[in-house]
Amino acid sequence: MTLPFEEAALYSAAPEKFIMSATLEMRRRSLEDPEGFWGEVAEGIDWITRWEQVLDSSNPPFYRWFPGAQLNTCYNALDRHVEKRGNQAALIYDSAVLHQRRTYTYRQLRDEVALFAGALASHGVTKGDRVLLYMPMIPEAVIAMLACARLGAVHSVVFGGFAPQELATRIDDAEPKAIVSASCGIEGVRVIEYKPLLDQAIDLSKHKPRTCIIRQRESCECDLTEGRDVSWQDAVASAKPHGCVPVMATDPLYILYTSGTTGVPKGVVRDNGGHAVALQWTMQSVYGVQPGEVYWAASDVGWVVGHSYIVYGPLLNGNTTILYEGKPVGTPDAGAFWRVIADHGVNCMFTAPTAFRAIKKEDPNGSLLANYDMSTLRSLFLAGERSDPDTLEWAEGKLGVPVIDHWWQTETGWAICANCLGIEHLPVKHGSPTLAVPGWDVQVVDEASHQVPAGTTGALVVKLPLPPGSLPTLWNDDDRFVSSYMTEFPGYYKTADAGYIDEEGYVYVMSRTDDIINVAGHRLSTGGMEEVIAAHADVAECAVMGVADELKGEIPLGFLVLNAGVDRPYHDIVSEVIQMVRTEIGPVAAFKTAIVVQRLPKTRSGKILRGTMKKIADRTEWRMPATIDDPVILDEITERLQAIGYA
């Protein structure tokens, strides 16, 4: 038996604890023979011209998958399915805010996409041009993405409702020939007018798009700028269907901007070939979903989850995908997700832990589940933030299906670590996203890039080359790609996450590396403290961050959101939480302060804005995040911090 990389060390240290599994066997092959492994996987994609080699590693860290090959991603997502499953639902639009539903078969969706591709082409969009999409969760967003892929144009989706300045920086970086938007989006009960925000962004940007195509919505129609703007309805009325344009496997499919530490967004590039190969493989291997089944990623097309698992992954695999316009709670209640699952026969669901924390907060006993038939649901996958064990256990207990925490990033495009249900269902360890997925060589290293022993916390890194579907570079910025991800740990991709790998190979992602705080010389994970606090019966959600302290350097500060219906004195709950951290982690944590708030400030994708909260507490300069879901909540945070001597 030959074991590569960290498995060899783990096996020699504790052979009786080592898990010999199908996942590890597949992963071993993917790392020892990546070209053979991914070459076989790639047979699941329809190619126009086959590759010259599977992996070009001649210019590290700029690795390229399937160089020389030609394909079209839209063809693989739609056209090739039409003969076999043309009448199967490809896309189901379910708007909880408008009480509307619309179903597109594979044939209908192919025809709609071909027509809009023709509309874009009539406005001068050709292969390699960029098209910026600023869209709400409506079918036209998916159609526009696929239409760009059909033409070989590069789409860049910006979350609808982004502030004009943030949108302007993305316009200037991508330099789109056209922008596709809508008159408005709907957030809960609020109608957000997009067109004024778009107009302001174009005024601010140096680059000016040639054309803006605007989908007029009944909830709010907008004025169009003469000579530049055209309504979606008029654009398609005069268009002719367009065929699929061949592109190189190494050509970019899309740019997706993620926040950078300098305030300048980083344009993550995704290629066509490796992306299609990896995503189709994950649908069956990671999620255990077969063609024809119903898959629902409750996310937004503006985020990477929406790209990978609302649009491309399910369609590449021949699934029915759900496009949901609504919230987990409030549209109309905490049973919103159960209604969608029951109505559409969802087999596998993927969402963020924060969504389930919101549901648990509003309906802690899961009473609303009794109103719906959940018999089709086989599994629930969570990602986006750390999945605390308490939320996982709650979901497991209420749903009665495997609840799988998995870990990935905008940059990676798909799961780094997961319990791969399509390969085998491994034992679950709460707090761990299980093992590294085949293709990913995850290691834990110290500051000198040396591997650390099992159970020791360090920087989580991935040995190069990264597998297909991960970012090959940043848009027009190779130097920043190298400095951001490849320099600190030579030979590795820096995930910027901290954690450890246990003796059985299970990976634990504890926090971002900047969430490791130094309390009087002791390095402590705020994620570990959050895990303890989340186990309190009255706590729905929590966040812990290190704030400046003259004596200890940093001390932890906790924020608690309580379950609905809790009427106990807040100071009793805070005292109990403090004692729990002291018991579980020890006095060294110096966890002595926590405050109760109504909500935690989050991005629209559900990530808690810990950095902003820390800056407020430390009295350092901060600015309103462009992605915040509700700016008003920061007023409460500031007031509560001021009341206890912070801010």
Whole-number percent of the chain with pLDDT over 70 = 94
pLDDT on residue 309 = 98
pLDDT in tens, 91-135: 999 999 999 999 999 999 999 999 999 999 999 999 999 999 999
> What global pTM score does this model have?
0.84
pLDDT on residue 12 = 40
pLDDT in tens, 548-584: 887 777 889 999 999 999 999 999 999 999 999 888 7
| β-pair partners for 138 | none
Q: Give the pLDDT mean for 324-329.
A: 94
Instruction: Find, among 233, 252, 211, 246, the residue nearest to 122 by Cα.
Output: 211
Cβ atoms of 555 and 519 within 8 Å: the answer is yes
Phi-psi category of 586—alpha, beta or left, where left has phi over 0 and alpha has psi -120 to 50?
left
DSSP 551: T
Cβ atoms of 500 and 508 within 8 Å: the answer is yes
Question: Which stretches does DSSP call E strand in 272-413?
Answer: 294-297, 320-325, 348-351, 379-382, 403-405
pLDDT in tens, 294-316: 999 999 998 899 999 999 999 99
Helix (H, G, I), strand (E, B) or coil at 315: helix
* CA dist., res. 7 & res. 319, Å (int): 35
pLDDT on residue 605 = 67
Whole-number percent of the chain with pLDDT over 90 = 74
Return the amino acid letter for 310.
I
Domain 524-643, what architecture? 2-Layer Sandwich (3.30)
* Cα radius of gyration rounded to whole Å, the chain: 24
pLDDT in tens, 261-273: 445 789 999 999 9
How many other CB atoms are there within 10 angstroms of residue 455's CB atom? Answer: 11
Give residue 522's pLDDT band: very low, low, confident or very high (50, 70, 90): low
Instruction: Find, among 141, 513, 501, 530, the residue nearest to 353 by Cα.
Output: 530
Q: Look at 217 and 604; give whichever has higher pLDDT.
A: 217
In the predicted structure, residue 327 carries a pLDDT above the cut 60: yes
pLDDT in tens, 33-77: 999 999 999 999 999 999 999 999 999 999 999 999 999 999 999
